[in-house]
Amino acid sequence: MTQPKPFPLNAWYAAAWSHEIVHELAARTICGKDVVLYRKSDGAVAALDDACWHRLLPLSMGRLQGDHVVCGYHGLVFNDAGRCTYMPAQKTINPSACVKAYPIAEKHRLVWIWPGDPALADPALIPDFHWNDGTEWVGEGGCFYKLKCDYRLVIDNLMDLTHETYVHAGSIGDEAITSAPFEVTHTDRTATVTRWMIDIEPPPFWKKQLGREGHVDRWQIIYFQAPSVVVGDVGVALTGTGAPQGDRSQGVNGAFLAAITPETETSCHYFWNFVRTFRKDDHELTAAITKAHVNDGHGVYDQDHAVLEAQQVAIDRNPRLPFYNLNIDAGALWARRLIDGMIERESGAPAPVSRAAE
Amino acid sequence: MTQPKPFPLNAWYAAAWSHEIVHELAARTICGKDVVLYRKSDGAVAALDDACWHRLLPLSMGRLQGDHVVCGYHGLVFNDAGRCTYMPAQKTINPSACVKAYPIAEKHRLVWIWPGDPALADPALIPDFHWNDGTEWVGEGGCFYKLKCDYRLVIDNLMDLTHETYVHAGSIGDEAITSAPFEVTHTDRTATVTRWMIDIEPPPFWKKQLGREGHVDRWQIIYFQAPSVVVGDVGVALTGTGAPQGDRSQGVNGAFLAAITPETETSCHYFWNFVRTFRKDDHELTAAITKAHVNDGHGVYDQDHAVLEAQQVAIDRNPRLPFYNLNIDAGALWARRLIDGMIERESGAPAPVSRAAE
Amino acid sequence: MTQPKPFPLNAWYAAAWSHEIVHELAARTICGKDVVLYRKSDGAVAALDDACWHRLLPLSMGRLQGDHVVCGYHGLVFNDAGRCTYMPAQKTINPSACVKAYPIAEKHRLVWIWPGDPALADPALIPDFHWNDGTEWVGEGGCFYKLKCDYRLVIDNLMDLTHETYVHAGSIGDEAITSAPFEVTHTDRTATVTRWMIDIEPPPFWKKQLGREGHVDRWQIIYFQAPSVVVGDVGVALTGTGAPQGDRSQGVNGAFLAAITPETETSCHYFWNFVRTFRKDDHELTAAITKAHVNDGHGVYDQDHAVLEAQQVAIDRNPRLPFYNLNIDAGALWARRLIDGMIERESGAPAPVSRAAE
């Protein structure tokens, strides 16, 4: 029996920001599959295997002819369902001549693809990513394409914010995170880590956003949807104004959004955004927050990426070395357990040993 | 039983243009074998294994001493038959100390090497490449060394010119190629694809060469000699002047020449020329034609190479995906069948599954 | 049974020049093990496995906190014995949480590490490298980190100086080396090659150092200490002044020093120096000698390295091709035999077939 891949195929994964896909051929690798994406004249997005049926040339090296794709080598034409509609120098077309077409959905400003069995591609399963809609919450994110680490390392990273203290000292990191208690809950598709830091000195970033003096209550509520979406509801409010009880009116509230898509077993595309409900019309603030996250190697996420890619290198170099876990890993462990369950149900085989779950 | 390589060893392969090999050590890898070539004082070319018998240092890092090669590490000397004639600090030479010498022939302005059993290296088997002699036909070609694709992909490419319509639109490509009928004939060492396009508007390149108005008959007669030489007799003549019947006097005639030498299983050296029988003294035309083929990524062959290397990458990424064939592949299929026959007779084992022949 | 590595682990290997290790984290790979080194406030050097117990991030990406190492991801702290002294968000520390600490010794201006069983790390086994102390002999060497060849190829190179004639023609190379007889002696840990060239014209380098006209007696006494230290006592003295009998007063004496540390099975760190007993206060001469050895690709050692790395490439490309040996390889063969003995005693298995010993 072949070892299953470390990701389920029967799931919706972010393939692109909506604005990235226009009436042009765009190549992506998703869960090990080479895909060509394009937007049709009716506005919908199509996705085909990026290898011509005939001699495997990537279709993304060809061109669009209306809503059909023309191979750049011998001119075979495929429609948006992947069926060949033209072959050079022959009148009859081999009826089996087709390339795979992938189910596509567009929602929450992202293009989602279903790399597995098309019959199972239920739009109701698209992750809840409404924070990214650009209405209630605002923010302008991006994507780290081809991040050189297993997508699960990004999930580990986001499910435990203790690392902020060490990786992001000076901006959002704070000793208080490390000492605050947290709790983990879960359903069959989600896991949630909740941490409240009561009556603390706010860290520099939040102090500036709040714009008021005094101690705060800080919250980090991290919500995982299997297999690979993470939303972190974060913020601070003046201590004693009722935030832990539900009244955040005397605070500022943001959310980090992450849709992480396996590219290969050891690389991923990381669609990110940081959105907020305060000063929503302040475009300078939006730009500043984006820059704080990604800034030519100096942003908060850039710091994470150096760590994540180094961690992947270390795993590759020490293939037999297990991960060990701390209390802080409880959220990541639940996320991994939910992912493993999806893989096992899909493949009928045990998930590959999740080193972080040992 | 070891899987045979995808190329026969008992064959003459182009190793260099004659003018490239002077009284200096030149390294090439041919059919997976590292070879050092040099021209001796008698004008003949010698070829030895490019690894010292003693400690494997490439002999091409050494120097010539007369017609002998001195290893650059410990000074062992080898004559042009590969026999060691000097060892440092010892008076007697181990009689088994030698490196392999390869049969070499020089013909048609190319240096040909026989990587297989020297006893079988019959000069009569050198491919007919007389178009390259520089007399009846003129042209100045070159070589793409280390093209990153299986040499058979280049043969596929040349045996079916339908691709001109898509890869070379705007120069030599034309819809007429795709719609014209063609026929394939073969012998036990050759395959020939013949295509005539009668009474067509000439494509831009040929219209300019012809220098006359009016419809033309265009021919493409592609001649394959196993394992890896392709000559394409191509041209146009004014319609109704008898070209299909053999009178090409009212036309212009060229030939593309290709000797493709496996470097490894997935790379090759592609010796090319485009020669002609018209305006033979027009050196500016010669230079212009060369530039039309190879021009810093913008020539006709440069376009092919982007396709060929991308195709190899796709094959490497999809090792189990078969090639499918169209009618247009009939010539390439015969070429592959002849190659496979050579491999099987040589190795006593079936040729590796030729994906294009399935 | 796993094939043993081509190096013993129970041995002292040079890890750094002493002056390179300060109160900062420094990463090295030694015998396939990733190590982080730093100097403690008491002046001693500590060495730990360079991968956090928790999630494998290289500790060298973290920071020092006093003499402890703080992981750059989640803040785990390890003391200089490798024991974890702090875990984020938990009061009790898993008693098994530790990373390996390596025995370290500092001697002869180098930091030595013992990658094997710490219980066997006897300081008495540190190689005799007193020539490098900076007192009796002077010189300023360096290190070629990550030289891309098996460390034993460097030993082969140094144990037979015949190569000087070919690799270093024009400086220290000389036909006399090749024709002079030599003898090899050995103990259970050392091998010595002794070569005297009597009454010869001195080669350019030595003629200049001697500063006197006339023929010389030249000596090369190469002393190997298993597994990987080589000292070459070299020099010239005016012929007839008694050098072969022990009176070197009418000559000039130098020594090349080499401590070669396996980085991986096919790469190494080569700590080198060239020291001398003459004109010891002449700093310009010291600088000139250093430059003669390593000079942006043009020094004597740079020439060796081009050869060594090309040789490794050739070995990798011809994995089944054996090395053959000449008389000149007698010293290298003894060195390899001593290394193989160490590996066999350590692993209880035969050493990997040493191609040079066949």
Residue B318 DSSP class: -
Average pLDDT over residues C266-275: 97
Tokens of C264: 């991986």
Q: Which residues of A touch C54 (CB under 8 A)?
A: 323-326
- To the nearest whole Å, the CA of A324 is away from the closest chain C CA by 5
For residues A141 and A269, give the distance between their C-alpha atoms in angstroms, rounded to a whole number: 13
Tell me if C307 and B90 make a contact (CB, 8 A cut-off).
no
Question: Could you tell me if A327 lies within 8 Å of chain B, comparing CB atoms?
Answer: no
Q: Are B72 and B80 in contact (CB under 8 A)?
A: no
Q: Searching chain C, which residue's CA lies closest to the CA of residue A160? A: C74
pLDDT above 60: residue C354:
no
Closest in C57, C58, C88 to A328, CB measured: C88
CB contacts of A324 in chain C (<8 Å) are 53-55, 94, 97
Contacts of A75 in chain B (CB under 8 A): 162, 165-166, 178
Return the exposure string of A282-313: e unless at least 16 CB atoms fall within 10 Å of the residue's CB, then b: eeebbeebbebbbeeeebbbebbbebbbbbbb
pLDDT value of position C91: 84
| pLDDT at residue B299, as a whole number | 87
Task: Provide the token pair at B338.
Answer: 């002849």
Q: Taking residues C292-298, report their average pLDDT.
A: 86
CB atoms within 10 A of CB B296: 7
C314 inside 8 A of chain B by CB:
yes
**Cβ pair C46, C67 in contact under 8 A:** yes
Closest-CA residue of B relative to C181 is B89
CATH number of A133-357: 3.90.380.10
For C85, residues 6+ apart whose C-beta sits below 8 A from its C-beta are C68, C77, C78, C79, C93
C61, C62, C87: residue with CB nearest A326: C87
pLDDT in tens, chain A (358 residues): 467 899 999 999 999 999 999 999 999 999 999 999 999 999 999 999 999 999 999 999 999 999 999 999 999 999 999 999 999 888 889 888 999 999 999 999 999 999 999 999 999 999 999 999 999 999 999 999 999 999 999 999 999 988 887 777 766 666 777 778 899 999 999 999 999 999 999 988 899 999 999 999 999 999 999 999 999 999 999 999 999 999 999 999 999 999 999 999 999 999 999 999 999 999 999 999 999 898 888 888 888 999 999 999 999 988 767 788 898 999 999 999 999 999 999 988 777 764 433 3
CB contact under 8 A, A314 and C54: no
Q: Calculate the CA A66 to chain-centre distance.
A: 31
Chain B nearest CA to A61, separation (Å): 8
Residue among B74, B78, B96, B99 with most chain C CBs within 10 A, to mutate: B74
Q: Is A32 on the interface with B (CB under 8 A)?
A: no
Please report the number of interchain residue pairs, chain A to chain B, with beta-carbon separation below 8 angstroms.
70
| A57 to B314: CB separation less than 8 angstroms, yes or no | yes
- DSSP-assigned beta bridge partners for residue B195: B182, B220
pLDDT in tens, C54-75: 999 999 999 999 999 999 999 9
* B206: enclosing H helix or E strand: helix B204-210
Question: Is A53 in contact with A97 (CB distance < 8 Å)?
Answer: yes
Q: In this complex, is the C-beta atom of A169 within 8 Å of any C-beta atom belonging to chain C?
A: no
Compare CB distances from C328 to B53, B70, B89 and report the shortest one's residue. Answer: B89
Residue B76, min C-alpha distance to chain C (Å): 10
> Could you tell me which residues are beta bridge partners of residue A3?
none
Q: Which of B73, B77, B78, B93 should we substitute to test contact with C (largest number of C Cβ atoms within 10 Å)?
A: B73
Q: What are the φ and ψ backbone dihedral angles of B220, each rounded to 5 degrees?
A: -140, 105
* B122–chain C nearest CA distance, Å: 28
Our CA-based measurement puts residue C232 at a distance from the nearest CA of chain A, in whole angstroms, of: 37
> Minimal CA–CA distance to B8: which of B263, B315, B341?
B341
CB count within 10 Å of CB C98 equals 18
* Six token digits for residue A240: 């004693």
Q: Residue A170: what pLDDT?
A: 66
Chain C CB contacts of B63 under 8 Å are: none
Contact between C317 and C158 under an 8 Å Cβ cutoff? The reply is no
Of the listed ranges B179-183, C246-250, C311-315, the least confidently predicted one is B179-183
Chain A positions touching C58 (Cβ under 8 A) are: 310, 314
Which of C55, C61, C68, C90 would you mutate first to test chain A, the one with the most A CBs within 10 A? Answer: C55
Question: Residue A356's pLDDT is what?
Answer: 38
**Among A188, A7, A190, CA closest to A113:** A7
In chain B, CATH 3.90.380.10 sits at: 133-357
Q: Tens of pLDDT along C317-342?
A: 887 677 888 989 999 999 999 999 99
Give me the pLDDT at residue A171, please. Answer: 67
Per-10-residue mean pLDDT for chain B, 358 residues long? 85 98 98 98 98 96 97 96 93 91 98 98 98 96 96 96 77 73 95 96 92 95 98 97 96 97 98 96 94 86 92 88 87 96 90 51
C88: closest CA of chain A, how far (Å): 6
Q: What's the gap in Å between the CA of A59 and the closest CA on chain B?
A: 11
**How many Å is the Cα radius of gyration of chain A?**
22
Q: How does residue C161 score in pLDDT terms, banded at 50, 70 and 90?
A: confident
Integer angstrom CA distances of residue B21 from B40, B72, B101, C48: 10, 20, 16, 55
Structure tokens at B96: 């088994």
- pLDDT for A90 equals 84
CATH 3.90.380.10 range(s) for chain C read: 129-357
Does A64 touch chain B if contact means CB atoms closer than 8 Å? no
**Cβ–Cβ contact C70 with A under 8 A:** yes
Element (H, E) at A313: helix A300-317
Going by the DSSP 8-state scheme, the letter that residue A346 receives in this structure is H
Tell me the backbone φ, ψ of residue A59, rounded to 5 degrees.
Answer: -60, -25
For residue B162, the chain A residues in CB contact (below 8 A) are 74-75, 88-89
Q: Is the pLDDT of residue C349 over 80?
A: no
Q: How far apart are CA C31 and CA C13, in angstroms?
A: 9
How would you write chain C as a 3-class SS string? CCCCCCCCCCCCEEEEEHHHCCCCCEEEEECCEEEEEEECCCCCEEEEECCCCCCCCCHHHCEEECCEEECCCCCCEECCCCEEEECCCCCCCCCCCECCECCEEEECCEEEECCCCHHHCCHHHCCCCHHHCCCCCECCCEEEEEECCCHHHHHHHHHCCCHHHHHCCCCCCCHHHHHCCEEEEECCCEEEEEEEEEEECCCHHHHHHHCCCCCEEEEEEEEEECCCEEEEEEEEEECCCCHHHCCCCCEEEEEEEEEEEEEECCEEEEEEEEEECCCCCCHHHHHHHHHHHCCCCCCHHHHHHHHHHHHHHHHHHCCCCCCCCCHHHHHHHHHHHHHHHHHHHHHCCCCCCCHHHC
Residue B304 per-residue DSSP state? H
Which residues on chain A are in Cβ contact (under 8 Å) with C88? Answer: 162, 165, 178, 326, 328
A93 in contact with B, Cβ within 8 Å:
no
Q: Report the half-sphere exposure of A80 (CA within 13 A, side-chain side).
A: 18
Instruction: Among A160, A166, A318, select the one facing C72 at the smallest CB separation.
Output: A166
Q: Is the dihedral of CA B199, B202, B208, B213 positive or negative?
A: positive
Instruction: Name the closest residue on chain B to residue A54, using Cα atoms.
Output: B324
Strands A77-78 vs A84-86: parallel, antiparallel or unpaired? antiparallel
Partners of residue B90 in chain C, C-beta under 8 Å: 326-328
* Cα separation, A354 vs A150, whole angstroms: 11
A72 and B165: CB-CB below 8 Å? no
Q: C271 in contact with A at a CB cutoff of 8 Å?
A: no
Q: Do A324 and C71 touch (CB under 8 A)?
A: no
Question: Residue C166's pLDDT band (boundaries 50, 70, 90)?
Answer: confident
Is the CB of C310 inside 8 Å of chain B's CB atoms?
Answer: yes
Buried b / exposed e over C256-284, threshold 16 CB at 10 Å, is bbbbbbbbbebbbbbbbbbbbeeeeeeee
In whole angstroms, what is the distance from residue A114 CA to residue A261 CA?
11
> Touching check for B3 and chain A: CB below 8 Å?
no
Q: Give the residue with greater pLDDT, A176 vs C277.
A: C277
User: Rounded CA gap, C273 and C132, in Å?
Assistant: 7
- Say yes or no to pLDDT of C30 above 80: yes
CATH of segment(s) C129-357: 3.90.380.10
Angstrom distances, CA of residue C116 to CA of A9, B19, C82, C122, C343: 44, 58, 16, 11, 12
Q: Which residue of B29, B50, B57, B87 to mutate against C (max C Cβ within 10 Å)?
A: B57
Note whether A55 contacts B317, CB cutoff 8 Å. no
- The tokens describing B106, both together, are 């020089």
> How far, in Å, CA of C152 to CA of C132, rounded?
22
Q: How far is A135 from chain C (nearest CA, A)?
A: 35
Distance from C-alpha of C130 to C-alpha of C142, rounded to nearest angstrom? 16
Q: Which of C63, C56, C77 is nearest to A308 (CA)?
A: C56
Residue C173 has pLDDT above 80, yes or no: no
Q: Does A311 touch chain C (CB under 8 A)?
A: yes
pLDDT in tens, B258-305: 999 999 999 999 999 999 999 999 999 999 999 988 888 888 888 899
Q: What is the pLDDT of residue C299?
A: 87
CA–CA dist A290, A276 (Å, integer): 12
Closest among C19, C306, C31 to C144, alpha carbons compared: C306
If you measure CA to CA, which chain B residue comes closest to A29? B317
**Is A73 an interface residue toward B (CB < 8 Å)?**
yes
Residues of chain C with CATH 2.102.10.10: 13-123
Looking at residue C176, its pLDDT comes to: 74
Q: Do the Cβ atoms of B72 and C178 come within 8 Å? A: no
CB contacts, 8 Å: B318 with chain A: 51, 56
- Reported as half-sphere exposure (CB side, CA atoms, 13 A), residue B173 has a value of 17
Residue A130: count of CB within 10 angstroms of its CB? 13
**Residue of A315, A321, A328 with shortest CB distance to C89:** A328
B306 contacts A61? CB cut-off 8 A: yes
Handedness of CA A66, A70, A75, A81 (dihedral sign): negative
Split at pLDDT 50, 70, 90, the class of C355 is very low
DSSP B83: B
A91 vs B contacts (CB less than 8 Å)? none
Radius of gyration of chain C (CA): 22
Superfamily classification of domain C13-123: Rieske [2Fe-2S] iron-sulphur domain (2.102.10.10)
